[in-house]
Amino acid sequence: MITPDDKKLSSTSSSSSSSSSSAIYTRSYTINSTSTDFVKPYPHASIHRSDSVKHVPDSIKGKVRSICNLFEARRGSKPKSKSKPIETPKFQSKLEKLASLSSSDCNDSSTIQLPGTEDRVVVYFTSLRGIRRTYEDCYAVRTILKCFRVFIDERDISMDCAFRTELLNILRVKQVSLPQVFIKGKYVGGADVIKQLHETGQLAKVLKGLPVRSIGAWQVCDACGDVRFVPCVNCSGSKKVFDEDDDQLKRCPDCNENGLIRCPNCSS
């Protein structure tokens, strides 16, 4: 039998369940309604980039302006004139003298001569990168001369000390900077002179008359890889040979102090 108390309990439980369910729906509704508000959390706030740029400190503006001046000239300012090559009377007379080089000039005893090289260009240089400026000058001079496709006798003093002794004896000095260039057997000078001749267009006149090599001749040498030296074929780079008469090892007479000889394919 259902007593009045049971009816009260059932009514209270049903009311509580209905209230709880309504609370759940109400809560879910509030969550959904508030979630839509986060689409634009701050509709009244807006980012003004122009305002933020206006408040850049003057120190930063000065730095930016100085950096921009490195890459582009200011508006209304006149472009700076390019530096002209050095044309002192002494240097200009030397350029004119070099421009008139010919085979007959090589017999002049008043200038420094390199006999046996009247048909080529001789460059004394170094392939070591110990001194960056020296290596860059040597590389630049060799690149400029190769553009004219003339035969270049490259003598690397770092691979053979005999070339250094030879250069010092020819110039009659105790120390010398590199590179040093001889054209048609006549001493021309270092990197500054070659660059100046090339910029003024007189280097082509100086090299006129020399035999020109074909384009295929400037490919990388298969024997030495453009090092211009290969191991000695007599001692295989050991610098020692066995003398059967004396029954002992002796110094190889064909190679240099590094056990190398000049490449027969590209340096002959």
Note the pLDDT tens digit of each residue in 228-237: 999 999 999 9
If pLDDT is split at 50, 70 and 90, which confidence band does 105 have? very low
Q: Inform me whether the pLDDT recorded for 69 exceeds 60.
A: no
pLDDT at residue 9 greater than cutoff 60: no
The per-residue DSSP string of the chain comes to ---HHHHHHHHHHHHHHHHHHHHHHHHHHHHHHHHHHTTSS-TT----HHHHHHT--HHHHHHHHHHHHHHSPPTTPPPPPPPPPP--HHHHHHHHHHHT--GGGGG-TTS-B-TT-TTSEEEEE----SSHHHHHHHHHHHHHHHTTTB-EEEEETTT-HHHHHHHHHHHT-S---S-EEEETTEEEESHHHHHHHHHHT-HHHHTTTSPBPPGGGGSPPTTTTTSSEEE-TTTTTSSEEEETTTTEEEE-SSS-TTSEEE-TTT--
Reported pTM: 0.60
Domains in the chain with CATH codes: 89-218 (3.40.30.10), 220-268 (no CATH)
* Range scoring the smallest mean pLDDT among 91-100, 144-153, 174-183, 229-238: 91-100
pLDDT in tens, 123-167: 999 999 988 999 999 999 999 999 999 999 999 999 999 999 999
